[in-house]
Amino acid sequence: MTVFISGTKSFQATGIISELRSEADSSVGLILNEITGFDAIRIDQANKLAFYKKTLPSLSQATGLLERSAGFVPYNANQEDVVEPVVYKFDDKRTEQTTLIYNGPVEIINEQTSMQKTFTLSRPETVTITTGDYPGVYVVHGILTITLTIQSVDQEETQTLTSTIGF
Whether residue 2 is predicted with pLDDT greater than 70 in this model: the reply is no
pLDDT digits (tens, 9 = 90+) for 129-138: 998 889 999 9
Nearest to 42 by CA among 125, 138, 120: 138
Task: Please state, rounded to an integer, the average pLDDT across all residues of the chain.
Answer: 83
Return the percentage of the chain with pLDDT > 70, whole number: 84
Query: Highest mean pLDDT range out of 3-7, 28-32, 35-39, 44-48?
Result: 44-48
Confidence category of residue 100, pLDDT binned at 50, 70, 90: very high
Quickly count helices (H) and strands (E) in the chain. 1, 11
Q: Which of 1 and 115 is assigned the larger pLDDT?
A: 115
Confidence category of residue 123, pLDDT binned at 50, 70, 90: very high
- pTM recorded for the entire structure: 0.76
- pLDDT for the residue 108: 87
Q: Which of 153 and 20 is assigned the larger pLDDT?
A: 153
Mean pLDDT calculated for residue range 99-115? 89
- pLDDT for the residue 68: 66
Characterize 101-139 residue by residue with b for buried, 16 or more Cβ atoms within 10 angstroms of its Cβ, and e for exposed.
bbbbeeeeeeeebbbbbbbbbbebebeebeeeebebebb
